[in-house]
Amino acid sequence: MSGSSRKNIVARQGGFEARMLDHLRDRFAQHLTSLYEPAVRLLIRDGVARAAAYRLISERDVCRFIELLVEYGSDVDAPGGEVAAALANPSVARGSTRLQRAIAQAWRNRQRLAKEQVRRNFTEQPAVLGAVLRGEALSFTWDGGIKLARARATVIGPHWQAGQMLEDGSGSIRPAAGLVGGAGAKLSLRLDECSGIDGYLRVSGRLGGLKLEGRCPARVGEHTVRLAFKPIPKGLQGVRGDVVWQLSGEGIDGPVALDNPVRLEWYALLGPPASFFEPAGVWVEALRFLYSQVGVGGLTTPAQVVARIARFCHGEHGLRYDTFHGAPAYGCSGTGGAFQLSAYLTAAKPVVNCYDQAGAVQTLSGSLGVATDWLYLRPYGFIHTTQLVGVGDCNNPFFSNNASSPTLGVNDRRRTAFANHAFASLGSAVLDACAGPHTATEDRNQYIDAAIDAATTLYGSYANFRPGSVADILQADGVSKVV
């Protein structure tokens, strides 16, 4: 082989790979954006080897062959194809001629494919522009008529307005509440562009598991859309977050979103909130606590609600009975009064008594529109072994005061008793989150039999002390306000 022939052999040109790398970066940058340099170098080496199989030896021919692979894809010379046939044509000795014919064939193949795609996707009918739709939300107001307070101030609608920062964590500084099955809401929006659409647009949005739907005239301008739940939610629901409103209708290929999301927060109640929340309204802080901590979402009946609240206050809020003195911590007396709800929500005082627990059950139930009665029993008596809040098994509630044990023998003289006791009821069904708990599954007679130990001989050790009875139960005023 002559010296001039050797100069054409790529395998012996050590600088070809580096020069080819620079060339591809300059000319085909958009094709190589996803490839790192090692991958491009592998592509070059693979191209050199494949070119040799087609008897393409010179740097220029190999360069153009690699360009062919980059431009039309690495499978452009797939076996059996027209490009591969042109490259391997045995009747054409000159490599550059075969390569030029292969490049021309690859171009024709691409043009043919493009024409086929046009035929598949388009018709001979006159071209008509599709629907054009664009708009934004302006304001949103919940229906329902339930007065709600945040930071003890009544929330005033609208509950969302464009251009205002209304976020409160994942909720809103303008939350709302309504009765289960809620009446709906209204959304004000503006359509800035609306063409190619006739009649009305369907407006819909999702907030958590709730869906609101309405309809809007398909014309430019401001519109007020009446929204209804679809379907009507059943049971307690507490939802918050951003709603993206979607518009759809005849002539629109798919839903079109309004330009701005809407931050909302809404709670369902079983009935009107208790009067002790007046005048400001039921606290959103209590509703957030009930849905996020107590877990009332999905409940459908007052009995389910009060049972869940009693169980939570008794065993899940981290509180413990005052086993020294049985003193109240959250403001209420034996017959009720002002309940320190704000402090109770955070368990600011970890030691409680029965007045506190009765106040919590009545207040939290009242937040959801479930009315309970406050019951006060004096005398009460010695208690059967029960789960005393935060203590566990106990028939001796003031064991810390006399350095004894939570449970003692039924006639042990160190045993202590409740002089009185406050609890609640849903109708005739008793609720007690201090001991038990009792979750509205017993009437008053059943409750007293289950809770009070009337058989112990210890009553004889005290003057004028006896086990309480149903006849001794006083229905008191209960919680009068929340602070």
Task: Tell me, yes or no, whether 236 and 353 share the same domain.
Answer: no
CB 422 within 8 A of CB 380: no
Range of the domain at 12: 3-121
Examine residue 274 and state whether it is found in any structural domain, yes or no.
no
Give the residue among 137, 292, 324 at the shortest CA–CA distance from 212: 137
Please give the chain's pLDDT, 483 residues, in tens. 344 444 444 444 458 999 998 898 888 877 776 667 888 888 899 999 999 999 999 999 999 999 999 889 889 999 999 999 999 999 999 999 999 999 999 999 989 998 899 888 888 877 655 678 999 999 999 998 899 999 999 999 999 999 999 999 999 999 999 999 877 899 999 999 998 888 899 999 999 989 999 999 999 999 999 999 988 888 999 999 999 999 998 878 888 999 999 999 999 999 999 999 999 999 999 999 999 999 999 999 999 999 999 999 999 999 999 999 999 999 999 999 999 999 999 999 999 999 999 999 999 999 999 999 999 999 999 999 999 999 999 999 999 999 999 999 999 999 999 999 999 999 999 999 999 999 999 999 999 999 999 999 999 999 999 999 999 999 999 999 999
Domain boundary among 89, 121, 153: 121
Task: Tell me, yes or no, whether 260 and 297 share the same domain.
Answer: no
Please provide the distance, in angstroms rounded to a whole number, between the alpha carbons at the two ends of the chain.
103
Task: Tell me, yes or no, whether 174 and 215 share the same domain.
Answer: yes
Examine residue 277 and state whether it is found in any structural domain, yes or no.
no
Task: Tell me, yes or no, whether 341 and 452 share the same domain.
Answer: yes
CATH code of the domain containing 188:
2.70.50
Examine residue 127 and state whether it is found in any structural domain, yes or no.
no
Task: Tell me, yes or no, whether 406 and 460 share the same domain.
Answer: yes
Look up the pTM and report it: 0.74
Domain boundary among 208, 240, 269: 269
Q: What is the rounded CA–CA span in Å between residue 65 and residue 51?
A: 7
Task: Tell me, yes or no, whether 150 and 51 share the same domain.
Answer: no
Q: What is the rounded CA–CA span in Å between residue 100 and residue 64?
A: 9
Long-range contact set of residues 355-358: C-beta below 8 Å, sequence gap at least 24 = 355/328, 355/330, 355/422, 356/319, 356/328, 356/329, 356/330, 356/332, 357/313, 357/314, 357/319, 357/389, 357/422, 357/423, 357/432, 357/433, 357/434, 358/332, 358/422, 358/423, 358/424, 358/433, 358/434, 358/478
Q: How far is CA 149 from CA 25, 155, 156, in A?
A: 64, 5, 9
Task: Tell me, yes or no, whether 376 and 289 share the same domain.
Answer: yes
Give the residue among 231, 159, 156, 155 at the shortest CA–CA distance from 188: 159
Number of domains in the chain: 3
Residue 178's Cα: distance from chain center in Å? 20
Q: What is the rounded CA–CA span in Å between residue 448 and residue 478?
A: 20
The pLDDT of residue 128 is 58
Domain boundary among 245, 269, 293: 269
Task: Tell me, yes or no, whether 346 and 208 share the same domain.
Answer: no
Task: Tell me, yes or no, whether 141 and 196 share the same domain.
Answer: yes
Amino acid identity, position 405: S
Task: Tell me, yes or no, whether 90 and 162 share the same domain.
Answer: no
CB 267 within 8 A of CB 282: no
User: Which residues make beta-bridge pairs with 393?
Assistant: 387
Task: Tell me, yes or no, whether 149 and 240 share the same domain.
Answer: yes
Examine residue 224 and state whether it is found in any structural domain, yes or no.
yes
Examine residue 275 and state whether it is found in any structural domain, yes or no.
no
Task: Tell me, yes or no, whether 214 and 319 share the same domain.
Answer: no
